[in-house]
Structure 1
Amino acid sequence: MAGHPIAAPTALRVGHLTDPLGIDSEHPDLSWRLAGGRQSAYRIQVASTPELLAADACDLWDSGRVAGERTGGVEYGGKPLGSARRAHWRVRVWGMPDEETVSPWSATACWETGLLECSDWAGAQWVTAPEWASPDLHDPSSPLPLLAKDFHLDRPVRHARLHVTALGIYEPSVNGSRVGAAYLEPGCTAYDKRLLYATYDITDALREGDNTVGLLLGNGIANVPNVPGRYEKLHVSYGLPKALAVVRVEYADGTHARVATDGTWRTALGPITLSAWFGGEEYDARRETPGWDTPAADPSRWRPAAVAEAPDATLSARTHPPIEIVETVTPVSITEPAPGVHVFDLGVNIAGLPELSVSGPPGTAVVLRPAELLYEDGTVNQRFTGRQCYDRYTLRGSGPGTGSGKSKGNGKGDAPGAAAVTETWHPRTVYHGFRYVQVEGLPGLPGPDTVRGLVLRAANARAGGFRCSDELLNGIHRLIDRAVQGNMYSVLTDCPHREKLGWLEETHLVFPAVARNYDVAAYYRKLVRDMADAQTDTGLVPGIAPEYTVFEDKFRDDPNWGGALVLAPWHLYRTYGDTTTLRATYPHMLRYLDHLASRADSGGALLSHGLGDWIAFDDSTPKAVTATFAHHRIATALREIAEVLGLPADARRHADLADRIGRAFHSAFFDPANHTYATGSQAADALALEMGVVPEAERGAVLDHLIAGIRAAGDHVTVGEVALPSLLRVLTAHGRDDVVWDLLRRTDSPSYGYQVVHGATALTERWDGPTRGSSQNHFMLGAADEWFFGSLAGIGQAEDSTAFDRIVLRPTPVGDLRHASAWYDTPRGRVSSAWERTEEGGTLRLEVTLPPGPDSRVEVPVPDGAGDVRAPGAARPVGRTDGRASFEVPPGDWEFTVTS
């Protein structure tokens, strides 16, 4: 080995996932991280077994030495794998500046394909219970189906996979044990177009001899029944619950066995007696059949499954993290506002499942009412949903059971000498948004373990964190983060208690708040595919995806909502280097651009439809301002996308459109006498400055007008969700973070601080949400997190950078803030920025961590531009400007000190 040693690459991923099972791409994109140094070239090897890989016998692919610093988005270029095949891979890199220095091979990683062809599902039939097989004969009051299949394995198993999907909700089990950690599978899609299937490794769950696979079914949002008295946001049915599954077994001797859903499966109506996505779940534990999903099940209670009609939809693999339990919350208080009515306060607004632990006589019914707010009398307030939402659990009573939870003796006893059984239960086919749980019908006194909150969300890994010396700002960050979590399900919802719909504007307007806190590289691919699936034949992208209900025009067709089809993939590219999604979605983007042209004015530039600056206090901003702003952003992004995809003629056409839109916007809305746009609102000025259409000679005056408007409003924002990100970015871009500081420090309405001091525990739907009573878990106003990470801590990338290949750290001490810090896991690795200044303000210390790869730029703030900067020897100074000393800095941990 020549030169100095270089460490082996780490964090190998396929399609932004670690060792994924059941992906449906035969040429997935591969990525890795450097453990140190800088890469000049790489080599990837792929083999069908780890033994072949170790022996350099790469029967699938050997990329050879490929020059370049690329560490992600490398498409597998080997032999097509086909279905249910496993590939093992490794990578090594050459370093810089000595390009003959080569690393050891990385640890071996792998991926496995799913069932890629329709023929792979041959013999598998959609099945359900007879009572649920036909909509015409279905009784809505029927309990939900259980499905099971007993099978015999006559020799040792090498590995086994369960491939499964359902219309509705399914929960799989093998030999009496739940399979995997995922909840609410298979996730929300346009069920008439696409259904997701998952692949589970069930090798360890099987045994030589008799085995059983079980499936519990629920309605989900695929079938929302009309239940009298129960809340429902909408009524929709793509069909009754049914399931499709294939078990593939490879024996140790290389032979195979296969089990698929068909009429030989057994079925019974289970203990879930109601599954209403918006209204709640009911569960009668007396209907449980212990051991139903084991070979010991009593055959007398079972009937043959009914074969159901197959949905007319494409089966696609789930290639993003599923929904999982990520946290358990216990009550901070228990009150009894009325006799027999107990209210549990979890202390924080969450999305997930209320879990009940109770013992009592058989047939005792306990009702759980989740809510975000309380009435003055201390009972839960579900006013905002109108009709009631609640879960009901009917106790099994003494004796063992398997249910959805656990049973244990609690020593109280329900008969002399007998131990009572504690039954622990939570819903399995619905979820709620709530802070409070009102419990009615408890057979005894409640305790601290009676109710818990199980926090659910898509299991996207934590990717960043922020902290500073100001507790109000920390509180704002916590509100935003909790609201992102509460809406990060199989779609990015607007709120978990009321709508649970994927409103699209949030996916791009608040992308930094989502992506700086969580790794959403794989997750956003799914969201974008939902948008493409929702696109109509005319090119329209509706405001929600999947489009489970058709709203009136302004809610269905707004370019700040539909434009997510263009802007979300662009964010994916800028943040993670994802060209795959750009390429796949580009034809859909062009169709959407044609749709916008059909709604534009005669010049093809100005748009005037949609919702305007939604939830603004100042509603004077014309819809034409926000709609045309979106049109301009879309055309500008398409120019850049076309350049990335190597389509220069398209890029020029999109650039011409963006220029025409910009000129039309300025001509239509500029007020030269007052140096403002349209009505002079904060939103109009901010959007004009963000678009870059303000002439240079007027830019300072328009900025002054914007700031004067903020000051005149008492340092409050009056904008809504569309203009808010632009307003914060514009102020930062023009060196006015002091104005952002002033407005974020407000605690009267409208402000973030108002929510903090009025007891919000997640960001609310409106600026004055805690006292207005609208949604208490809504992340659409979460743009402040972009400022926390990107301005206070200063973590960002150069404008021409992709996937943080050119990191820029530009922290901004502001106000009387003493310290601020943030970290973020970029595709290259972790970057962190932490600054602290003395009480007297005479010294500032900045500590940075820069990941392996190219040098980064660190722009150190210098008070009044005249301080001394002590920099590490490895940092190369590149000049001072605008009160900052800039350095080119190699990877590593470094400290800078500034004294005045």
Structure 2
Amino acid sequence: MVTNLRTCDLIDPLGIELTRPAFSWQLTGTTAQTGYHVQVEPGLWDTGEVESADQRVVYGGRPLTSRTAASWRVRIRDAGGRWSGWSPPARFELGLLSADDWTASWITHPDWHDEGNPRAGEGRPLPLLKGEFVLPQPVTRARLHVAGLGVYVATVNGAPVTDAVLEPPYTDFARRVVYATHDVAELLREGRNALGVELGPGIAHVFPHQDRYMKFFGSKAAPRAIAQLELDYADGSFGRFVTGPDWRAAEGPTVRSHWYGGEDHDARRTAAGWRPATVVPGTKDVLRSRACPPIRVTERLPATARLTAGDGTPVFDVGTVVAGWAELSLDLPAGRCLRLVPGDQLDDYGRVIQSKPTTGAPIFNTYVTKDGPQTWHPSFRYDGFRYVEVQGLPEHVGPEAVTALVLRADNTPTGTFETSDALVNDIHTIIDRAVRGNMYSVLTDCPHREKLGWLEQTHLLFDVVAYNYDVAAYYRELLVTIAEAQTGDGLVPDIAPEFLVFDAPFRDDPNWGGAIVRIPWQLYRWYGDPSAMQTHYDAMRRYVDYLTSKAEDGVLGHGLGDWIGLDDSTPVPLVSTWGYWRAASTMARAAGVLGRDDDAKRYRALSEQITAAFAHAFSGARSQASEILALDMGVSTDERALDRISEAVAGGGITVGEIALPALFRVLGRAGRHDALWAFATSTSHPSYGYQVRHGATALTEAWDGPTRGLSQNHYMLGAVDAWFYRGLGGIGQAPGSNGFRRLLIEPAAPGDLESVRASTVTPYGGVEVSWTRADGEFTLDVTVPPGSSAEVRLPELGLARHAVPDAAVKLGAHAYEVPAGRWTFGAGR
């Protein structure tokens, strides 16, 4: 009856650093939990039988220390007082909690270390590091703790230690470097063994190359690595092998890698000229363990065609815009130089388009062949592309030579959405593809020219991401990165990590920086987990107080406005003041949940002050965004404004930008104006999602007319409609006052000529599924409610007087019913 055990929202994690981890579980069947009993072995904690419906509990046993390995199990009591059997055990293991646990040293190639020189290693091949050691007997346990800067690939006896790629994730590398822990026992052998690390500069060390595109240049740290292999032998003894002065260094076959501009690899080169590695002075206090899923290859897309441009250049099409690696598989003689040019679009001559406003330019990878069958892809950077020019390729090579390896943070997919309308399905697909294309170690805004963590999307489109993926651990890690970027005066910059400092307002906008306040609240609401609010409460408070210090009489005057909006009459201070209000009101609610009553009172008063100031300062603003944001705040309740906006939206006259767009779907959805939203969702004229689909977009683009205008072809910032797809058409939401989907609100709309919808997502209590159809005056709704939840089901008002409802349903109103966990069918007809 008990399944899906998670520790810190991860499956059997290795190397965590939380000494009070959270345990969670789900139930099968339909019974409600009334009690739980958790045991953590060996002898660390036993809760006894606890009277509670909670399916998430924080460890409260004996202190956990570095390297603690434990297992836990849970049983539950059902509504009838019966106890389940014990669940299968889940496991977790702590990493190295103190700098003193590290005896390894940071090392690098001698030519890549010049203390104080930000251009160390420039123009040199990338370094290889190698250490050899002897195992005198079999091992029963082997843990490799490893980190590197900027990107590393670690191997044991030539085999990768993990399928994670582009490690480590983005952080403020001067303050925090993420290390990973791997079980490498299966890769070891008795006798001689070798541990290797390949290094690339990544975003930590961006050279000022003149022949390639670069968003910026600068160095946080030159490439280096640290590794500590800890061994338990069969006879009960212990061993340790660490990076240090006994390691060797050489130059490898990758002769250049630039995070933005490209990577060059000469497969003819072999490692030679091994020299003693250089020990890099540096603290180990910056090392912190990985706390969320890493980036992995999640799809392999073979090229669908080899095209030929007007000048004869071969161009490979993988069929859809993606982010990741273009992999070559060839059988050629040595010495052929190939240039791979990635891009999202083709020009009129069939060549890949690159320009600074779209992808950045020039961006290319080069590969010099060795002799015979060979496979290669970049290892230390990635690209956004659909098409790949391969200049220098022989004419006989077919489409099988190129495969797209699609990369993203490996957050578990949780959502499905499908309707009877093919266009709407395509819109959902291109939005999801854009989310995947930007779900890296931070949520980026595009995978080519930027690769930066712009923050507005993280919270404005939180539900778009969370309906489709399990991001509980991922978003908590994003918050750590955002909090690290906060300045001493409380400012949260528009990007995190802040690898470069932009000029205001591109550094200081409340709808970007407000992520520090909104995300902890969203994690609480979505997953029922208050830990992010507890951890970041001071940072949240400092940010709202920073905004207050910049406001004049409740109005905040600086910012970017309603970015990429089609109506430039919306006042920038109006949009910023709305963001200020949203941060203050969220702060009040968070303080209330955490029992900070004085703060809750103070921030409620601030929110009311901002509301009054907004009403006074912007009473005459009549742009679409202005009226939507006023309605969202409750400043306006004007039905005429709703009518004006609904009529405009239905007619395809949407003018809002990315800040007001989620509020537009929220406001019109709450007001029941689903027919207007449906008309917009199915429009194919500019501006609309359908325009993008009809003009060939395979991922959501940066602008409404992106496929015909240019700009990035892989941007998810305009993807707010996807939340309405799930919540409005699928009807999957939370009842008022619910957190973590404890009590569902199933309220599907059936606008226009839509005939059917199937939607599902996974909540902390399990999967929720909604499926409805209508035909010939009959409406049928199937709802699956997971154990631990209940649901209020509201049938759409379709003028159908006859209702057929389950026997278990309790009537709440004319069209509303309450049901417990289970699978239920509702019907309506004439």
Above 0.5 in TM-score?
Answer: yes
Equivalent residue of 1:879, what SS?
coil
Aligned position for 1:790: 727
2:571 matches 1:622: yes
2:327 matches 1:390: no
Equivalent residue of 2:318, what SS?
strand
Deviating more after overlay: 798-807 vs 485-494:
798-807
| Partner Cα distance (1:132, 1:428) in 2 | 19
Measured after TM superposition, the shift of residue 705 of structure 1 is 3.2
Aligned position for 1:417: none
- The code of the aligned residue for 1:81 comes to L
Q: 1:506 aligns with which of 433, 436, 457?
A: 457
Aligned position for 1:362: 334
Cα gap change, 1:501/1:14 in structure 2, threshold over 3 Å: closer, same or farther?
A: same
Measured after TM superposition, the shift of residue 895 of structure 1 is 0.9
Residues 836-856 of structure 1: CA deviation (Å, up to 9, x unaligned): 011x3x100111111001421
Q: 1:587 aligns with which of 538, 552, 555?
A: 538
2:778 matches 1:843: yes
Equivalent residue of 1:750, what SS?
coil
| Partner Cα distance (2:120, 2:244) in 1 | 20
| Partner Cα distance (2:797, 2:549) in 1 | 51
- The code of the aligned residue for 1:337 comes to A
Equivalent residue of 1:649, what SS?
helix
Deviating more after overlay: 735-744 vs 853-862:
853-862
Are the equivalent residues in 2 in contact too, given 1:193–1:312 (CA < 8 A)?
Answer: no
| Partner Cα distance (2:36, 2:360) in 1 | 59
Cα gap change, 1:338/1:264 in structure 2, threshold over 3 Å: closer, same or farther?
A: farther
Aligned position for 1:415: none
Gapped runs of 5+ residues in structure 2? none
Q: 1:521 aligns with which of 461, 472, 475?
A: 472
2:663 matches 1:689: no
Q: 2:816 aligns with which of 874, 886, 891?
A: 886
Counting only pairs closer than 5 Å after superposition, residues 116-155 of structure 1 correspond to structure 2 as 116-122=97-103, 124-134=104-114, 136=117, 138-155=120-137
Counting only pairs closer than 5 Å after superposition, residues 745-760 of structure 1 correspond to structure 2 as 745-760=682-697
| Partner Cα distance (2:318, 2:740) in 1 | 39
Counting only pairs closer than 5 Å after superposition, residues 210-221 of structure 1 correspond to structure 2 as 210-221=192-203
Residues 577-613 of structure 1: CA deviation (Å, up to 9, x unaligned): 2211111111001111121012100x2x111211000
Residues 143-178 of structure 1: CA deviation (Å, up to 9, x unaligned): 111111111111111110110111200011111111
- The code of the aligned residue for 1:691 comes to M
Aligned position for 2:287: 315
| Partner Cα distance (2:808, 2:23) in 1 | 32
Q: 1:804 aligns with which of 741, 744, 752?
A: 741
Residues 597-630 of structure 1: CA deviation (Å, up to 9, x unaligned): 12100x2x11121100000011110011111111
- The code of the aligned residue for 1:324 comes to R
2:23 matches 1:30: yes
Aligned position for 1:675: none
Counting only pairs closer than 5 Å after superposition, residues 268-287 of structure 1 correspond to structure 2 as 268-287=250-269
| Partner Cα distance (1:494, 1:357) in 2 | 30
2:96 matches 1:115: yes
Counting only pairs closer than 5 Å after superposition, residues 258-657 of structure 1 correspond to structure 2 as 258-289=240-271, 301-310=273-282, 314-338=286-310, 341-384=313-356, 385-397=359-371, 421-601=372-552, 603=553, 605-657=554-606
Aligned position for 2:793: 858
| Partner Cα distance (1:752, 1:139) in 2 | 46
Q: 2:40 aligns with which of 46, 64, 69?
A: 46
2:699 matches 1:699: no
Aligned position for 1:871: 805
Cα gap change, 1:726/1:438 in structure 2, threshold over 3 Å: closer, same or farther?
A: same
Are the equivalent residues in 1 in contact too, given 2:208–2:218 (CA < 8 A)?
Answer: no
| Partner Cα distance (2:442, 2:186) in 1 | 31
Measured after TM superposition, the shift of residue 196 of structure 1 is 0.3
Aligned position for 2:60: 77
Measured after TM superposition, the shift of residue 386 of structure 1 is 4.9
Deviating more after overlay: 139-148 vs 331-340:
331-340
Residues 256-296 of structure 1: CA deviation (Å, up to 9, x unaligned): 1001110101111111100100001111111134xxxxxxx
Gapped runs of 5+ residues in structure 1? 1-6, 49-58, 290-299, 398-420, 672-677
2:57 matches 1:63: no
| Partner Cα distance (1:721, 1:314) in 2 | 36
Q: Detail structure 1 runs of 4+ shifted over 6 Å in the superposition.
A: none
Equivalent residue of 1:374, what SS?
coil
Aligned position for 2:768: 831
Are the equivalent residues in 1 in contact too, given 2:129–2:247 (CA < 8 A)?
Answer: yes
Are the equivalent residues in 1 in contact too, given 2:205–2:221 (CA < 8 A)?
Answer: yes
Measured after TM superposition, the shift of residue 313 of structure 1 is 5.9
Aligned position for 2:609: 660
Deviating more after overlay: 635-644 vs 777-786:
635-644
Measured after TM superposition, the shift of residue 444 of structure 1 is 4.7
Cα gap change, 1:701/1:862 in structure 2, threshold over 3 Å: closer, same or farther?
A: closer
2:150 matches 1:168: yes
Are the equivalent residues in 1 in contact too, given 2:646–2:673 (CA < 8 A)?
Answer: no
| Partner Cα distance (2:579, 2:174) in 1 | 30
Q: 2:703 aligns with which of 735, 751, 766?
A: 766
Are the equivalent residues in 2 in contact too, given 1:577–1:802 (CA < 8 A)?
Answer: yes
Measured after TM superposition, the shift of residue 748 of structure 1 is 1.0
Residues 289-340 of structure 1: CA deviation (Å, up to 9, x unaligned): 4xxxxxxxxxx74221111122686211111000000001122221222555
Equivalent pairs, count: 825
| Partner Cα distance (2:234, 2:733) in 1 | 51
Cα gap change, 1:181/1:386 in structure 2, threshold over 3 Å: closer, same or farther?
A: closer
Residues 488-521 of structure 1: CA deviation (Å, up to 9, x unaligned): 0000000001100000000011111111111100
- The code of the aligned residue for 1:42 comes to Y
- The code of the aligned residue for 2:824 comes to W
Equivalent residue of 1:613, what SS?
coil
- The code of the aligned residue for 1:366 comes to L
Are the equivalent residues in 2 in contact too, given 1:862–1:898 (CA < 8 A)?
Answer: no
| Partner Cα distance (1:313, 1:436) in 2 | 43
2:78 matches 1:95: yes
Counting only pairs closer than 5 Å after superposition, residues 162-241 of structure 1 correspond to structure 2 as 162-241=144-223
| Partner Cα distance (2:268, 2:395) in 1 | 19
Measured after TM superposition, the shift of residue 859 of structure 1 is 1.0
Equivalent residue of 2:111, what SS?
helix
Measured after TM superposition, the shift of residue 353 of structure 1 is 0.2
Cα gap change, 1:107/1:702 in structure 2, threshold over 3 Å: closer, same or farther?
A: same
What is the alpha-carbon root mean square deviation over aligned residues? 1.3
Aligned position for 1:775: 712
| Partner Cα distance (2:719, 2:653) in 1 | 16
| Partner Cα distance (1:105, 1:359) in 2 | 55
| Partner Cα distance (1:183, 1:868) in 2 | 57
Are the equivalent residues in 1 in contact too, given 2:173–2:221 (CA < 8 A)?
Answer: no
2:13 matches 1:20: yes
Measured after TM superposition, the shift of residue 438 of structure 1 is 0.3
Measured after TM superposition, the shift of residue 699 of structure 1 is 2.7
| Partner Cα distance (1:435, 1:649) in 2 | 54
- The code of the aligned residue for 2:506 comes to F
Are the equivalent residues in 2 in contact too, given 1:192–1:311 (CA < 8 A)?
Answer: no
- The code of the aligned residue for 1:690 comes to D
Measured after TM superposition, the shift of residue 357 of structure 1 is 1.5
Cα gap change, 1:278/1:558 in structure 2, threshold over 3 Å: closer, same or farther?
A: same
Are the equivalent residues in 2 in contact too, given 1:192–1:313 (CA < 8 A)?
Answer: no
